[in-house]
Amino acid sequence: MLRRRFDPGPVCALPTMLADLEALVRCESFSADHAALARSARAVGAIGARLLGAGPETIVVEGVTHLRWVFGTPRVLLVGHHDTVWPVGSLQARPWSVAGGVARGPGVLDMKAGLVQMFHALASLRSLDGVCVLVNGDEEVGSPTSRELIEEAARGSAAAFVLEASGDEHGALKTARKGSSRYEVTVHGRAAHAGTSPEKGVNAAVEAAHQVLAIDGIGATATGSAGRGATGTGLTVTPTLLAAGSTPNTVPALARIAVDVRVPSLAAQDDVDALMRGLSPRTPGARLEVRGIGGRPPMEAGASAELFALASRIALELGRRPLRGVTVGGVSDANFTAAVGCPTLDGLGAVGGGAHADDEYVEVAEMVPRARLLAGLISRTPR
């Protein structure tokens, strides 16, 4: 794949990169706002067209705009997203700024700076033959309309590089990600007057309390568990949202429990699924309904091992400090590329912190070095 000599010279002038980043941050792109996503896609496409010498293919699925560039027969896949978690109007409270070597603004880290670094890295290469670039517009909501595009591209690729932000403020790469699953447990009871005849009801709220404790216990017993409250590489099963009842004087006939699951392996994901679907009611007359509502398979460490070793060698050649690889509990489109068997390395985007938070920021001085690292990876990824 792309057997080019890697030239570790400058990728592009930092002022140009910052101008491109400003253009993307000022073009808000909330995942749920399809019109905003269309505007953002045009802004991303314009930068890509300028730097790559070709405009993108625009793909709209269920109103969500995705972009794709394909050069020759794709062998290297670059994956990014242009949607953010910030509703349109957030820019007023969190305006674009660069001060003290730090860039700020909605989505600056997650992941508009990563897109800018990607385009400038590609622009530094002698040839783009064999490269596929896929920028989707719904990663923040689980990639429901782009998953098929991502998996299709990954199946034909020898490597996937994902431009999510680094794993920490020091630039660690993401070498493994937990998988995720979500469930909704609905408890069906029977309504009755809470004052005059509570005994005639079946209290869905009481049953939901039993189920919350049972669900919490799954996290301590399932395959891959590292114990209660485990983070890092361990499995976690967390009841999150709980709702029950209709009026203050009525025995609740209905309750709902939302459950967030994070798993280190496919075996653990299957184990939790079986345990969730095996939940049984404790209250006489109550009935349970368990529904899985999406998720991502885990990205296990083996998917990134060879690419991380290559990245580490390139970083040393560039005079950078040794790279670290980290496992993270969050998910990304890297989970999809790894799950179809494509070697995948994530966290190649910007260095900074505060993703999804008010203090989101990017370390400006790291933008060019990260672009150079990516250019080296694309150039030196073996067939």
* Torsion sign over Cα 378, 148, 45, 141: negative
**pLDDT 10s digits, 259-306:** 999 999 999 999 999 999 999 999 999 999 999 998 899 999 999 999
Task: Give the separation between CA 85 and CA 106, rounded to whole angstroms.
Answer: 8
Decide if pLDDT at 99 tops 60.
yes
| Segment (H or E) for 160 | strand 159-162
Scanning 247-330, the segments in alpha helix (DSSP H) are 266-277, 305-317
Burial 119-152 (b: 16+ CB within 10 A, else e): bbbbbbbeebebbbbbbbbbbbebbebbbebbbe
* Torsion sign over Cα 314, 318, 323, 325: negative
**Strands of 236-244's sheet in order across:** 236-244, 254-263, 179-188, 287-296
Sequence-separated (6 or more) residues with CB below 8 Å from residue 178: 233, 235, 262, 263, 264, 298, 327, 328, 329, 330, 331
Task: Give the separation between CA 185 and CA 167, rounded to whole angstroms.
Answer: 33
Q: What angle do CA 25, 26, 32 make, to 5 degrees?
A: 75
Query: Which three-class secondary structure state does DSSP give residue 258?
Result: strand
- The neighbouring-strand residues paired with 103 are 98, 362
Instruction: Specify the pLDDT at position 6.
Output: 44
Sequence-separated (6 or more) residues with CB below 8 Å from residue 72: 128, 129, 130, 131
Task: Give the separation between CA 254 and CA 182, rounded to whole angstroms.
Answer: 20
pTM, rounded to two decimals: 0.88
* Torsion sign over Cα 192, 198, 201, 204: positive
Burial 14-23 (b: 16+ CB within 10 A, else e): eeebbebbbb
**pLDDT 10s digits, 296-338:** 999 999 999 999 999 999 999 999 999 999 999 999 999 999 9
Q: What domains appear along the chain, each with residue ranges and CATH number? A: 14-177+298-380 (3.40.630.10), 179-296 (3.30.70.360)
Structure-block tokens of residue 365: 């001085």
- CA separation (Å) from 309 to 6, 79, 291, 303? 16, 20, 40, 12
Interval 88-102 mean pLDDT: 98
Task: Give the separation between CA 76 and CA 127, rounded to whole angstroms.
Answer: 13
| Segment (H or E) for 102 | strand 102-104
Instruction: Specify the pLDDT at position 227.
Output: 44
**pLDDT 10s digits, 54-94:** 999 999 999 999 999 999 999 999 999 999 999 999 999 99
Decide if pLDDT at 351 tops 60.
yes
Task: Give the separation between CA 257 and CA 189, rounded to whole angstroms.
Answer: 14
Instruction: Please compute, for residue 201, the number of CA atoms within 13 A of its CA located in the half-sphere on the CB side.
Output: 22
- The neighbouring-strand residues paired with 185 are 257, 290
Share of the chain above pLDDT 70, in %: 93
